[in-house]
Amino acid sequence: MGTEPVTMRWDPQLSGPRAGRRLYGALVSTQPQPDVDAARPAIRLRGLRKRFGTGPQAVDAVAGVDLDVRDGEFLTLLGPSGSGKTTVLRLIAGFELATAGTIELGGVDVTRRAPFERDVNTVFQDYALFPHMSVTDNVGYGLRVRKVGRAERASRTQEALDGVRLGHLGDRRPAQLSGGQRQRVALARALVNRPRVLLLDEPLGALDLKLREQMQVELKAIQRQVGITFVFVTHDQEEALTMSDRIAVFDGGRIEQLGSAADVYERPATPFVAGFVGTSNLLSGAAAEQVLGRSGTWSVRPEKIRLDLDDEPAAEAHDRSATGVVREVVYVGSATRFVVDLDAGASLVALQQNVQTSSSDVDAYRGRRVRLHWDPRHEVQVADPATAPTAH
Amino acid sequence: MLLSRRGRTILAAAMGLGLAFIYLPLLVVVVNSFNASQVFAWPPRSLTTRWWREVASNTGVREAVLTSVEVGLVATVTAVVLGTLLAFALARYTFFGRQSVSVLVVLPIALPGIVTALALRTAFQTFLGVELSIWTVAVSHATFCMVVVYNNVIARLRRTGTTAEEASADLGADGFTTFRLVTFPLLRGALLAGALLAFGLSFDEIVVTLSTAPPGVTTLPIWIFQNLSRPNQAPVVNVVAAVLVLLSVVPLYLSQRLAADTVTAGRL
Ligand SMILES: Nc1ncnc2c1ncn2[C@@H]1O[C@H](COP(=O)(O)OP(=O)(O)OP(=O)(O)O)[C@@H](O)[C@H]1O
Ligand SMILES: [Mg+2]
């Protein structure tokens, strides 16, 4: 394998619009990084395990993870609380020592290396800014300890701060910043070092919804412009779906499914993924036989299901249909969620846009008999019938 | 919390009484140091600075102050080094018996002074065969001074956690650099506050000093004690006491400011 200088990765021509080049100039210029092989994955995890504690209290926080993160990719680790996302990140950064398995960065085995010997930077969940330093000193810290000259340090720090639009707040202490500003300082502090890989542990978790959505867009734009590999942890499925190139869905220290947002959402591999990413709308066992005419466990996304009152004219012939009673009506503004108990035994959620209806109209559906119908193409088998846990 | 008007009045009165009980006697000491009457006739009929001048030229007092400062400094330095190391060991590492060790470390401050005094004296004289000197006094003081340093430092370590240090390592700093640029600066306030308290503790210790000092070595509190019962020395003792009242305020004020300062700096 030939070693291509990484200067390529920083080529401004490849890194997006002019505005981005000006804003993130500090991050996209020069500095070839010699020991990097473009053909190799940025991160390669093999058989990674981490056990905390011993004896009966032992916890397998990471229970065998194999993962290749491509160069320049935005990969999201998505999973419920306690599923091991943070631990995987801490293993990659070097804060925890793996119990078993290997970690490679750009083809180099770093499993036993200290954090300061790894070319990754982390944006911590609580930002972990240095409280006794100004914003400028925080951002310049990585350059300072790597003995970058004073002048270059000052200019790169300033550019990084401008890049996150905090150029005017350099003299403040972290305690004098808002949550969103701290978050951006943490981002600038990591990016100014031009790491190969940036690890982000729920960096938006502490922000309010509005700011969160704004930062999602900004983060994604920055990632495109600097071309750095991002490994992003979240337990918010919407965030994962909107930002990621690929998503690794975690449960119990394992990867349940790895794929694009569309893969994970439309073709969930297991009942867990179907339930965690989006609403789990599962038909299995007798209900599946009766409604779908086939066995196994099947998932239909709520927005694919249409809902009519039972006495209205029947749907198109090729549609799958099932009748039932509306148990619950949840008005969510632009749409309404109907929970329907099917005559066949299971219950399904149908999401209907409120195009013609208002909240008082939809409330009248409660307790009514309805007919659900959907295109069979939207039925996805989520697990082998033999191994799937039988519902009801 | 909101209080009724009556509640507030009662609270204010109680606080006033409590403070008066503590501070009126101290005020009397200070005023008496200027009292022209040798037997402290109250109220003072005329004021004088004679006693203050006498103290300034009293060699006994001067030597006692010097001894106290020497003992205090040695005890403080020892306490800072040992207390900090212990705090790090107990806050950052898990090992067998950690809980018991943390109790053992703070025990000296809970033990009656006379017991510590007796134990140390026996240890020095019988087991170690060390002659009592100013050093044995300082080392003895360090046993309990260490506790206040330890308490300050471990509280700070627990509160700041390890994320700042992890961030530093993540940004490429090795262990020593991280200590120099992150750990120590975050700890500085707690260390100074602990050191000031330790010095204060050592400075007014009597019981342990009495039993670990050789005959010729006299610290200031002991000098005061020895001269308290001599009527013709009373005015001089009174001046020394007044000076001590004023001096104690300084480290207390400083350590409180340091603690407050670093609390806000430590908040993230
Ligand atoms: N230092 C530790 N000691 C013992 N157990 C730990 C430690 N760190 C994590 N664990 C356990 O490992 C498991 C995985 O934790 P981890 O922090 O990786 O979860 P997570 O997916 O990041 O969850 P969250 O979304 O809540 O942050 C949990 O059961 C947790 O209790
Ligand atoms: Mg976590």
Cβ pair A157, A148 in contact under 8 A: no
Sheet hosting strand A100-105, strand order edge to edge: A59-69, A43-52, A100-105, A108-109
Please state, in angstroms and as integers, the Cα–Cα distance from residue A68 to each residue in A45, A101, A342, B243, following that order: 6, 14, 42, 72
Angle at A71 between CA A88 and CA A187, to 5 degrees: 65
Which of B125, B145, B128, B146 is closest to B213 using CA atoms? B125
Give backbone dihedrals phi and psi of A64, rounded to 5 degrees, phi first: 95, 85
Give the gap in angstroms from C-alpha A350 to the nearest C-alpha of chain B. 44
Least distant ligand from the CA of A77: 1
Domain ranges of chain A: 5-266, 281-382
Contact A141 B177 (CB under 8 A): no
Q: Is A150 exposed, middle or buried (0-12, 13-18, 19+ CB in 10 A)?
A: exposed
Per-residue pLDDT of chain A (392 residues; tens, 9 = 90+): 444 333 333 333 333 333 333 344 444 434 444 444 456 789 999 999 999 988 888 899 999 999 999 999 999 999 999 999 999 999 999 999 999 999 999 889 999 999 999 989 999 988 999 999 999 999 999 999 998 999 999 999 999 998 888 889 989 999 999 888 898 899 999 989 988 899 999 988 877 888 888 888 888 888 888 888 999 999 888 888 888 999 999 999 999 999 998 888 888 888 888 888 877 788 888 888 888 888 888 888 888 888 888 766 665 666 788 889 999 888 888 888 899 998 888 888 888 888 877 777 778 888 888 888 888 888 888 875 445 444 33
Q: Which domain holds residue B248?
A: 56-267
CA distance A9 to B162: 34
**Cβ-Cβ contacts under 8 Å for A136 (sequence gap 6 or more):** A157, A158, A161, A170, A171
CA A83 to ligand 2 center in whole angstroms: 8
How many distinct structural domains can be found in chain B?
A: 1
Whether residue B171 has pLDDT greater than 60:
yes
CA–CA dist A165, A162 (Å, integer): 5
Question: CB within 6 Å of ligand 1 — which residues?
Answer: A 52-53, 59, 61, 79, 81-87, 235
Dist. CA A274–CA A294, nearest whole Å: 19
* Distance in angstroms (rounded) separating the CA atoms of residues A122 and A133: 18
Pick the closest to residue B43 from B34, B52, B54, B53 (CA basis).
B34
The residue among A220, A211, A175, A192 whose CA lies nearest residue A72 is A220
- Give mean pLDDT, residues B93-120: 86
Residue B168, C-beta contacts closer than 8 angstroms, at least 6 positions apart: A130, A141, A145, B177, B178, B181, B182
Q: Does pLDDT of B259 surpass 80?
A: no
pLDDT band of residue B255 (cuts 50, 70, 90) is confident
Structural domain includes residue B51 = no
Instruction: Answer yes or no: is B250 within a domain.
Output: yes
Please, what is the average pLDDT of chain B?
A: 85
| DSSP code string of A273-284 | HHHHSS---EE-
Instruction: Decide if A5-266 and A281-382 have a common fold.
Output: no
CA A198 and chain centroid, separation = 14
Torsion angle of alpha carbons A222, A223, A226, A228, nearest 10°? 150
Task: Please name every residue paired with A337 in a beta bridge, in sequence order, or none if there are none.
Answer: A330, A351
Evaluate whether A166 touches A142 at the Cβ level (below 8 Å).
Answer: no
* Cβ–Cβ gap A145/B173 under 8 Å: yes
How far does residue B159's CA lie from ligand 1's centre (Å)?
Answer: 20
In terms of C-beta distances under 8 Å and separation of at least 24 residues, what long-range contacts does B104-111 make, across chains too? Answer: B105/B146, B105/B147, B105/B150, B106/B147, B106/B150, B106/B151, B108/B143, B108/B144, B108/B146, B108/B147, B109/B144, B109/B147, B109/B148
Four-CA torsion B2, B7, B8, B9, nearest 10 degrees: 170
Q: In chain A, which residues have their Cβ closer than 8 Å to the Cβ of B174?
A: 114, 116
Q: How far apart are CA A78 and CA A268, in angstroms?
A: 13
The CATH fold of domain A281-382: OB fold (Dihydrolipoamide Acetyltransferase, E2P) (2.40.50)
B148 touches B138 (CB < 8 A): no
Q: Is residue B31 assigned to a domain?
A: no
State which H helix or E strand residue A220 sits in: helix A209-226
Rounded Cα gap, residues A188 and B69, in angstroms: 49
pLDDT at A318: 64
Read off the tokens for B10.
């009662």
Q: Which residue's CA is the nearest one to ligand 1's atom 10?
A: A61
User: Atom 25 of ligand 1 has which residue's CA nearest to it?
Assistant: A81
Atom of ligand 1 nearest to the CA of A83: 21
- Residue in A132, A173, A175 nearest the CB of B186: A132
Look up the CATH number of the domain holding residue B179. Answer: 1.10.3720.10
Q: Tell me: the pLDDT tens digits for B184-212? A: 998 888 898 899 889 988 988 888 898 88
| Closest-CA distance of chain B to residue A207, Å | 15
The interface predicted TM-score (ipTM) is 0.72
Residue A227 Cα to ligand 2 middle (Å):
25
Classify residue B15: in a domain, yes or no: no
CATH classification for the domain delimited by A5-266, as one of 3.40.50.300, 2.60.120.200, 3.40.1000.10, 3.40.50.2300: 3.40.50.300
Q: Hey, whose CA ends up nearest to atom 7 of ligand 1? A: A52
Q: What is the pLDDT of residue A90?
A: 94
Contact yes or no for A175 and B177 at CB 8 A: no
What gap in Å lies between CA A319 and CA A376, rounded to an integer?
A: 7
Contact criterion met (CB < 8 Å) for B174 and A116: yes
**What is the Å distance from ligand 2's center to A179 Cα?**
18
Mutate which of B166, B168, B170, B174 to test chain A, going by most A C-beta atoms within 10 A?
Answer: B170
| Residue corresponding to tokens 């790597």 | A146
The predicted-structure confidence for A137-168, as pLDDT tens digits, reads as follows 999 999 999 989 999 999 999 999 988 888 89
Q: A84 alpha carbon to ligand 1 midpoint, in Å?
A: 6
Contact B171 A121 (CB under 8 A): yes
CB contact under 8 A, B170 and A114: no
Return the higher-pLDDT residue of B97 and A134: A134
